[in-house]
Chains A and B, each alone.
Chain A
């Protein structure tokens, strides 16, 4: 027969074990929750405010059909991709202004900019950008070159740019400018020189 004091001792130890396990499980859950909330509290993108930086926007002018470099000061986030997207949005804000030199359709926006593969930048425009864009070789070319040159002039190391619309490949911007190709920055630089003169 098992002595009574031994049964009591085992029961007490079992109760302590269960209590410790429950306590450990509760502590672990609390730690997980605090880690998760710490992760969630981190910003997805740094706030675009505070100190401003100078960037060069290449702005299209329809009246003369030229592209001009325009230095502006805008607040920029820290990440390279986020900076690229903000620069293009600053350019688009000029084009969406009431007194714009190169109007874009309402709702035109840059969905994202991806800096992938060394030297490659991918600009993802929204559907409204392309669907509402005016049709014509020069007017479409000015838009494309303005975007590509603004990006490559301000983000070092970009050698090629690809333009997507709504995340997908598109044949042309609005019936003329070929978007199926990768734009080589040296070739675009050559085109910018041509587009800076009215001759």
Chain B
């Protein structure tokens, strides 16, 4: 069969003219779509707050072209707070300091004096939002202490919490960059061709004198420090692949080429184009392995992932965080070193949670959930999927828990026996629940439900404290057994 084209004269001239207009239009649409796809969704804005009580981050909201943050959420981790709404007025109390804000007004009263906000106060669903730009002046009035706010990077330091560092390259072969911090740090580390990135999201690391540090080394020529969207980033440039190791309980990070990379058969070739181009391939590690935690507590969900909507205003992610903080406090009070995987409203994937936990090598991992159905507390251990086998020293990611299942179940059953003594019903079950099956230690999840039909009980400090205290006591009793199986 042959296809024949119609003669050119069949197509009227207007057809070709319209096609001529159509082609650029289609091209423009395709280009616009490509730009949208490449640019992706805008990055969510966060503010990070560093204080002696807690380090956490909160989402920044755009209202009327200005950046706002929830005042109650900002103060909640710092101490006793409450807020009441009366018409357009929003009364806020932090310990004995009273403040009053009015929706749509800039004038507020704090400690009995007037205070002018740079933009109108916003009241949304009984939630009071203040402009971000006023935090540097508003917070000292309420807290009665010094506050440093870097608005460009959205990092807020309450009190003298800043972590400083010094960096020095040793004259050894291969050279080592030793970075000493004034407090333990736990950055996310990514190694990329030509550089090693350390991102500090939960540490109050502040800039050295200069944002760019230069070293007398061809292998590690420089490092640069920058702050953005609540996080600080230290990027070490290298002409060889670099790795980071931690020492002094996380107070020191040593950056150096790995052994085989340090003795190359051919010297690295410096091209005119500069350092090797960055590739999207990166390896994320954590220094937690250098510390010795008894327990890792994982407040489930967080950030974009709200978890269950327990009531119209109560999200699971908030209850899990509040409860996890209480549990950490109770465990620390019993002398059990505890790591909280998230201490703010941040998003962590399930694999990240497992990876961070496995790096910390705790005696036990506890994942906290909350539910409105049922009563009391339910403890869950992993339902490890079949078909994934551990081969010798290599553990299948989905079945890494299999060697620790008996320890996990013993711990869950023991804790479930602890609670009925406090008039709290408890059960122990297995469940198909990630990331339990990827954890290489005793691991369990607990689901806290109200003791009665009143779901708001989940938010009650007394109820949370009762359960946290009982679980911490149970874990303290299990300490020897869990440490032995570590």
Contact = CB atoms under 8 A, between A and B. Distances in A.
B314 interface: no
A171 to B, nearest CB: 8
A175 B431 CA distance: 13
A195 interface: yes
A191 B371 contact: no
B361 interface: no
Contacts of A139: 371, 373
Contacts of B398: 181
Contacts of A199: 427
B369 interface: yes
Nearest to A179: B432
Interface stretch (B33-41, B219-227, B305-313): B305-313
Contact of B316 (A135, A171, A178, A195): A135
Given A65-B427, A181-B385, A182-B387, A175 B305 contact: yes
A168 B3 CA distance: 42
A62 B373 contact: yes
A111 to B, nearest CB: 21
A160 B387 CA distance: 11
Interface in A148-199: 160, 171-172, 174-184, 187, 190-191, 194-195, 198-199
B430 A138 contact: no
A68 B378 CA distance: 19
Contacts of B374: 62, 65, 138
A137 B427 CA distance: 13
A189 to B, nearest CB: 12
Nearest to B308: A135
Interface residues of A, number: 31
Contacts of B307: 135, 175
B447 interface: yes
Interface string A88-103: 0000000000000000
Contact of B308 (A175, A177, A182, A187): A175
Interface string B396-423: 0010000000000000000000000000
A141 interface: yes
A138 B371 contact: yes
Contact of A178 (B309, B428, B432): B432
11 contacts: A134-B308, A135-B307, A137-B369, A137-B371, A138-B429, A141-B432, A175-B307, A178-B432, A183-B432, A184-B385, A191-B431
Pairs A-B, 9 closest by C-beta atoms: A135-B308, A136-B371, A181-B385, A178-B432, A184-B386, A65-B374, A137-B447, A139-B373, A194-B429
